[in-house]
Amino acid sequence: MGLNCSEPTPPPPPNNGTLTLSVLETSCTEAWLELKTNGVAFPVNVNLLKDNTVAQTISLGKNDTTVYIDSLLPNKSYELQAQFSQSNQTTSSNKLAVQTLDTTSNNFTWQTYTFGDPNAGSSQLSDVAIIDENNIWAVGEIYADDSTGQPDPTPYCIAHWNGGTWELKRLYDPNNQLIPSIRGIFYLSSADIWLADGGAYHWDGVSQKVSQSFDRISLLGGTENGQSVNKLWGTS
C-alpha cells in the first residue's frame, strides 16, 4: 500500500487593502484627484504614477484624500495610478485616464481705467468683487477733482462698474463719519455686501450709510496691537 504525501496549501497572500483613484477637476496644466482607500494600514507612502513613472509620493494617514498634480501639458491625455508596497506585496489602484483642458485664444483686447487725479491725492485700489461684466465693485481710497476741476480732499472708497461707466461712491459709518478707505469687499448679493477697513461693515449696496458689524477695537488685543480686518469671505 503506497502512501501519498501532499504538499501543504500555502497561506493566502496578505490583504493590504484597496486603492481607488478618481478625477475631481482638471485645468490646462493641473489635475485634482480623489484617492480612497479601504482596509489599508496607516501610515503608508503611496506613489502616484503618471504614464508608469512615479510623479510624486504621498504620505497617507487617512482613508480619503485629495491629490494635486501640476506641470501637465494642455490638451493631453495621461494615465494615472496609485500604488504602494507592504509585506512584500504591491497594491495598485485602477488606471485612470485624465484629459487636460486646451488653452483658450491669446487674442485679448485690453482696456485700462485710471482712477483719481494725482493733483487731488494718492489713490489706490485694495480689493475687487467681479460679479459679471456689467457689475464690478472695486474698493480703496480714491482722490479726484471736484466738479469745478479743483482737487477734492474728501476721498471716495468705492468704484462701481455698471457695464458702461465707473461711478465713484463715498460711504459713511453709523455715526455719519466718512469712511476714507476700504481694504476688502465680499459680495453676497446686490443688497448684501460686506466691507473691511480694519473693522467690518454690512452695506445694502444703495445707501450712503453702512451698518457697523464688527469694530476694530473689539478685536483681541485691541487697536494698540495693530489688529485689523483686511479681507472677508463667507457662504451666506
Q: For 4-42, write each residue's pLDDT tens digit.
A: 666 777 666 567 889 999 999 999 999 999 999 999 989
Strand arrangement of the beta sheet that strand 156-161 belongs to: 124-132, 135-142, 156-161, 166-169
Give burial (CB, 10 Å; 0-12/13-18/19+) of 214: middle
The CATH classification of domain 18-99, taken from the options 3.40.50.1860, 3.60.10.10, 3.30.365.10, 2.60.40.10: 2.60.40.10
Which segments of the chain belong to CATH 2.60.40.10? 18-99
SS3 content of the chain, % helix, strand, coil (to 5): 5, 45, 50
pLDDT-wise least confident of 86-90, 198-202, 220-224: 220-224
Task: Report the sign of the C-alpha dihedral through residues 64, 70, 76, 80, in that order.
Answer: negative
Q: Binning pLDDT at 50, 70 and 90, where does residue 105 land?
A: confident
Q: What is the mean pLDDT of residues 110-115?
A: 90
Residues contacting 233, CB < 8 A, separation 6+: 186
8-state DSSP, 155? P
Global pTM reads: 0.55
Yes or no: say if 216 and 201 are a contact pair by the CB < 8 Å rule.
Answer: no
Dist. CA 53–CA 59, nearest whole Å: 18
Q: Classify 223 as helix, strand or coil.
A: helix
